[in-house]
Chains A and B, each alone.
Chain A
């Protein structure tokens, strides 16, 4: 991988500078890099919807979608065409600028964070030294899209749903951030590449298993997925903050939700499961990208598995779990990690 990059990248750069000039080429190159990054991400986002229906179908002993193409592989395509050609219905007295900004604001943060996610030691768009902070900061903006959607729709159901969603997201963001702090302490760096390289001997999941469990439950709650999909609890709130959205504007919300699932799965794989490192040294003939995809894919599968397995939580139980269980436990683990590092002389 890296040899190919090192031989061909200079050729591409000289070629690009010939065409666009030295001033414009860096901009064009950035756009090209963004495209190369976004294509597989959006592919995963579209196909996780199919995977969800197929896997949950298999778990409930039914075939799942099987009409569009072989095994339903064309279903996401059909979905996209359906969403785009449907009529967009605008609710009366909706605040239109905010109404249309909201879906964009849920999707964009989920895509922006990919700029700092490394796929192998030399395959990253921007290797910033605060990558973890950047991801936490940008993903905390997702709550705005939800809040704005509920308020701008001018509907009680949507508003209640968005209130629930936003308070759920900010509550679980706290414990998610705290579970990453022991990882940062073990690594001594905020760069994701350093975090993965530090797991060469033992993956972070081994010393920090409770943190991984809390991390995963927190991200399930933060992405508003079952069993924590209270913002969309259809029995009480119709479809929550998406109630008034139709056609592609609701499609963008779903894309944002799935993009977030894919993103946090990759984050979990990088932070706790050793990223692109193989489980045992013997297996390093398989490229790191495959290992990373397998680990992230497993976490995505668990997302769908949870949805098929657990009944929905009650709202007060959700809040209690976040603030009274996860927060103290993760704070204690930060303290414990610091103590262990100090006593073993690694601090």
Chain B
């Protein structure tokens, strides 16, 4: 009863936030609505008994991905007139992607039978978190390792793209700074008054 009320509350917020993402004119507001949608989705995960997934969703998507997204969107000062012209240019592509996603979702919902309680973790002592860890490191070990390898490649690629070995005049070398000793850096001189240091 109470769980039902909470479910409908969060489900409504999720839908409203998702509508806000596509309908708001300000792109920063769109991202903020997206963040809200992520959060309420995490709440729905908790209601399903998948508390580990919920925490990961909040940590990864809200705590990292959406923040970086917000960073970029806030720093871009996009003009709406030019944006609209470009948007119309990409309209056919957008519609095509939308239709593909719609067809896929319809196929999944109508063709695949989902057990109502298949999401709920196995009963007893084993928690959701333990079960995910167990299955991830046994049955799905190879896909898991491949996924992490792909992420590593992406990481190295990002570093290679942004690394510029350009020597600036004021560049600081931390190791050089740490290697300095008092003997070579400081020289004490006794200055006689009225003559000044040489």
B contacts with A, residue count (CB < 8 A): 28
Q: Which parts of B105-147 form the interface with A (CB within 8 Å)?
A: 127, 129
Q: Are the C-beta atoms of B63 and A147 separated by less than 8 Å?
A: no
Residue contact A133 to B35, C-beta cutoff 8 Å: no
| A137-159 near B? 1/0 per residue, CB < 8 Å | 11011011001100100000001
Cβ–Cβ contact B52 & A130, under 8 A: yes
Q: Known interface pairs A129-B129, A151-B28, A151-B74. Does A170 touch B64 (Cβ–Cβ under 8 Å)?
A: yes
User: Which residue on B lies nearest to A151, using beta carbons?
Assistant: B74
Q: Which of A27, A137, A144, A147 has the most chain B CB within a 10 Å cutoff?
A: A137
User: Is B51 a contact of A147 with CB atoms below 8 Å?
Assistant: no
Interface residues of A in 98-149 (CB under 8 A from B): 98, 128-130, 133-134, 136-138, 140-141, 143-144, 147-148
Q: Chain B: interface secondary structure?
A: helix
Known A-B contacts A129-B129, A163-B71, A166-B67; the reply to A137 vs B58 at CB < 8 A is yes
Shortest B57–chain A CB gap in Å is 8
Please determine whether B63 and A140 come into contact, CB atoms closer than 8 angstroms.
yes
Q: Is A318 engaged at the interface, CB distance under 8 Å to the other chain? A: no
**B18 at interface, CB cutoff 8 A:** no
Task: Give chain A nearest CB distance to B30 CB in angstroms.
Answer: 12
Q: A26-B2, A130-B51, A144-B35 are in contact. Are A166 and B71 (CB under 8 A)?
A: yes
Query: Would you give the shortest CB distance from A148 to chain B, in whole angstroms?
Result: 7
Q: Indicate whether A133 sits within 8 Å of B55 (C-beta atoms), given known contacts A140-B62, A147-B70.
A: yes
Q: Are B71 and A140 neighbours in the complex by a CB distance under 8 Å?
A: no
Are A141 and B129 neighbours in the complex by a CB distance under 8 Å? Answer: no
B59 contacts A148, CB within 8 Å? no
What is the count of residue pairs linking A and B with beta-carbon distances less than 8 angstroms?
Answer: 70
- Chain A binding surface SS class: helix
Q: Which residue of chain B has the shortest Cβ distance to A167 in the bound complex?
A: B71
C-alpha gap A177/B55 in the complex (Å):
13
The interface residues of chain A lying within 8 Å CB-to-CB of B74 are: 147, 151, 159
Q: B32 an interface residue at 8 Å Cβ cutoff?
A: yes
Inter-subunit contact A141/B32 (CB<8 Å): no
- Residue of chain A at shortest CB distance from B57: A137
**Is A312 an interface residue when CB atoms closer than 8 A count as contact?**
no
Instruction: Assess the A138–B2 pair: CB atoms within 8 A.
Output: no
Rounded to whole Å, the gap between the CB of B112 and the closest CB of chain A is 29
Q: Does A173 contact B (CB under 8 A)?
A: yes
Taking CB atoms, residues of chain A closer than 8 Å to B70 are 144, 147
Q: Can you show 9 pairs from A to B with CB atoms below 8 A apart?
A: A129-B129, A136-B55, A140-B62, A141-B62, A144-B32, A147-B71, A163-B71, A167-B71, A177-B59
- Chain A residues with a Cβ under 8 A of chain B: 23, 26-27, 95, 98, 128-130, 133-134, 136-138, 140-141, 143-144, 147-148, 151, 159, 163, 166-167, 170, 173, 177, 190, 316, 320
Seen from chain B, the residues whose Cβ lies within 8 Å of a Cβ on chain A are 1-2, 26, 28-29, 32, 35, 42, 51-52, 54-56, 58-59, 62-64, 67-68, 70-71, 74-75, 127, 129, 172, 174
Q: Nearest 9 A-B pairs (CB), nearest first?
A: A140-B63, A133-B55, A137-B58, A137-B59, A137-B55, A151-B74, A130-B51, A129-B127, A130-B55
